[in-house]
A and B are shown apart, each in its own frame.
Chain A
Amino acid sequence: MAKSYQEINEKIARGEAVVVTAEEVIGIVKERGVKEAADYVDVVTTATFGPMCSSGAFLNFGHSDPPIRMGEISMNGVDAYGGLAAVDTYLGATQPSADKGIEYGGAHVIHDLIAGKEVHLVAKSQGTDCYPRTELDTWVKLEDLNEAYLFNPRNVYQNYNAAINGSSQRLYTYMGILQPNMGNITYSTAGELSPLLNDPLLKTIGMGTRIFFGGAQGHVSWMGTQFNTACPRDEKGYPQTPGATLALIGNMKEMDPKYIRGAVYEGYGTSMFVGVGIPIPILNEEIMAFVAVENKDLYTNVIDYSVPKKAKPVLKKVSYAELRSGSVDINGKNIRTSPLSSLKMAREIAEELNNWIKKGEFFLQEPIQSFPMGNSLKGLEIKEGESR
């Protein structure tokens, strides 16, 4: 029997909703079958906690007296964007600091703000008739700011490559350190717990979907950048390469520093670990069948990151169950595998979201617009010549 968002929300309000994680639901579907499980379960919680570079924060500092139209802005030595209105800025997660470089970047400033720490704000300006101040040097806390919200243009990738290094030199990448001569494989996914792998055709996740975002209740605001719903899929519809992505928005003042952390990838740069949980309403049997997916049925490609081209060679197609087993056989050689995103923290987030829903603190938001399927990626062509 099909259910509506409203019916599920009413059950949540009455404290009667059956909420389980995307790992727990697998056993339930095996035991009861898809039809009965779809009647029984109301919401399945999914989650992930991993590095998501395309992240950052919009901040409004409020006006000083006399006021300034901030042009060059830095926070704890990390440059923030000065091309918005007088005291608005965007602080990008991967921006390194002037003094510590990638060891302390935008993501670390965002974490420190959420942790309630004071941050050193320095700004400069040409000075204008309406904004006479030309310099500013002060300390700010999150609670002092007017608005502070994360707006991450590309998070929660639906599937991602596994990485290997076929060269004879160690590689330092955003996929971690890759040992030479195919010494190891790294992968980054929550697999069967991952949000977008549980809703491969985006039947329930769209613009407006309410989510767990860094410990706050946030929303899906748009399709993420490099949104690739035209990716290759298996016969059931699960992506086999990087697919959909989401743009997320949420109030930093309600976030928990545990779920938003600065990260450093040696020889590569700063990134941000972002904790995201997405509830999937079990509206019908089709959605139930999708969330019952297991690691053994989810596939990705092992890609040689030593090839300095956009199209890198695929060495093998592997399931997440194989990657999780600790080693993968490639050309007769057993190669160690290591995760890069934290399944332990993802489980904690799925549980936390589960508790919010069971306690009636979190309700489902039906998307106000679905995202397009069949959206493909464009590359960037390098054109020769003068201005045209």
Chain B
Amino acid sequence: MTKKILLSFPQKAAGQPMAMELIKTYHLDFNILKAFIDDNIKGTLLLEIKGEEADIEAGIVYLRQHQIGVRDIESVVEVDPDKCVSCGACTAVCAVGALEMTADWSLIHHDDKCLECMLCVKACPMRAIHALI
């Protein structure tokens, strides 16, 4: 299976050696989608990992044991519900229907359908859509 995870680690914990460990010990393949360091306080890595489900689970446990925060990510775009006014402008550019209006005209984000084209980020007049990468 393939899974996207967002890792956050204290700046001194190096991301790369951890990743090497993941490959060796847990037979996981991975892709770094994005890496960034936030004001030298903490680092963040967005990874796509591939492997057996049990190995992925074990790998995540391993990372957590090393003080690395791990978050499952379905989609790399997130809608901030406090900023969203359900205007619908973002649905204009989402050709796959990952952003849709519900029957009562609220916005819903089906993150499993998202193709990560990022068009909606710029289409939102409230700047309520945030890209993780």
Assembled-state Cα–Cα distance A49/B101 (Å): 16
Contact of A342 among B88, B95, B122, B127 (CB under 8 A): B88
Quick check: is B44 within 8 A (CB to CB) of the other chain? Answer: no
Quick check: is A99 within 8 A (CB to CB) of the other chain? Answer: no
Assembled-state Cα–Cα distance A49/B8 (Å): 39
Pick from A79-87, A235-243, A257-265, A312-320 the stretch touching chain B.
Answer: A257-265
8 smallest CB-CB distances across A and B, nearest first, come from A263-B125, A338-B92, A339-B88, A343-B105, A344-B86, A266-B122, A338-B91, A342-B87
Given contacts A177-B93, A186-B92, A338-B91, contact A345 B123 (CB under 8 A): no
List which A250-271 residues lie within 8 A (CB) of chain B: 261, 263-266, 271
Quick check: is B115 within 8 A (CB to CB) of the other chain? Answer: no
Quick check: is B104 within 8 A (CB to CB) of the other chain? Answer: yes
| CB-based nearest A residue for B119 | A177
A-B residue pairs in contact (CB < 8 Å), sample of 10: A51-B125, A176-B92, A186-B89, A263-B126, A266-B123, A271-B125, A338-B88, A338-B92, A339-B101, A344-B85
- List the interface of chain B (C-beta within 8 A of A): 85-89, 91-93, 95, 101, 104-106, 119, 122-123, 125-127
| CB-based nearest B residue for A271 | B125
Asked whether, in the complex, the Cβ of A342 is within 8 Å of the Cβ of B125, the reply is no
Asked whether, in the complex, the Cβ of B104 is within 8 Å of the Cβ of A338, the reply is no
Residues of B within 8 A of A341 (CB): 87
Residues of B within 8 A of A51 (CB): 125
Asked whether, in the complex, the Cβ of A345 is within 8 Å of the Cβ of B85, the reply is yes
Given contacts A51-B125, A177-B119, A344-B105, contact A273 B92 (CB under 8 A): no
Quick check: is A50 within 8 A (CB to CB) of the other chain? Answer: yes
* CB of A310 to closest CB in B, whole Å: 24
Assembled-state Cα–Cα distance A50/B125 (Å): 11
Residues of B within 8 A of A345 (CB): 85-86
Asked whether, in the complex, the Cβ of B106 is within 8 Å of the Cβ of A338, the reply is no
Asked whether, in the complex, the Cβ of A342 is within 8 Å of the Cβ of B86, the reply is yes
Asked whether, in the complex, the Cβ of A103 is within 8 Å of the Cβ of B127, the reply is yes
Interface of B is mostly: loop
Given contacts A51-B125, A339-B101, contact A177 B85 (CB under 8 A): no
Asked whether, in the complex, the Cβ of B89 is within 8 Å of the Cβ of A261, the reply is no
Contact of B87 among A50, A179, A336 (CB under 8 A): A50
Residues of A within 8 A of B93 (CB): 176-177, 179, 184
Quick check: is A340 within 8 A (CB to CB) of the other chain? Answer: yes
Contact of B92 among A103, A177, A271, A342 (CB under 8 A): A177
* CB of A325 to closest CB in B, whole Å: 11
* CB of B14 to closest CB in A, whole Å: 35
* CB of A305 to closest CB in B, whole Å: 12
| CB-based nearest A residue for B107 | A344
Assembled-state Cα–Cα distance A331/B126 (Å): 34
Of the listed residues B88, B91, B104, the one surrounded by the most CB atoms of chain A closer than 10 A to its CB is B88
| A306-349 vs B, Cβ < 8 Å mask (1 yes, 0 no) | 00000000000000000000000000000010111111110100
Asked whether, in the complex, the Cβ of B85 is within 8 Å of the Cβ of A184, the reply is no
Contact of B122 among A177, A178, A339 (CB under 8 A): A177
Known: A273-B87, A342-B85. 14 other contacts (CB 8 A): A51-B125, A177-B89, A184-B92, A184-B93, A186-B89, A186-B92, A261-B85, A266-B123, A271-B125, A273-B125, A339-B105, A340-B92, A341-B87, A344-B104
Assembled-state Cα–Cα distance A203/B95 (Å): 43
Given contacts A177-B92, A179-B93, contact A339 B123 (CB under 8 A): no
Given contacts A50-B87, A339-B101, A344-B86, contact A265 B92 (CB under 8 A): no
Of the listed residues B91, B95, B126, the one surrounded by the most CB atoms of chain A closer than 10 A to its CB is B91
Assembled-state Cα–Cα distance A263/B89 (Å): 11
Assembled-state Cα–Cα distance A176/B86 (Å): 14
* CB of B17 to closest CB in A, whole Å: 38
Assembled-state Cα–Cα distance A342/B106 (Å): 9
Of the listed residues A50, A265, A339, the one surrounded by the most CB atoms of chain B closer than 10 A to its CB is A339
List which A34-82 residues lie within 8 A (CB) of chain B: 49-51
Assembled-state Cα–Cα distance A338/B105 (Å): 11
Contact of B106 among A49, A261, A266, A344 (CB under 8 A): A344
* CB of B94 to closest CB in A, whole Å: 9
* CB of A269 to closest CB in B, whole Å: 11
* CB of B80 to closest CB in A, whole Å: 13
| CB-based nearest B residue for A267 | B122
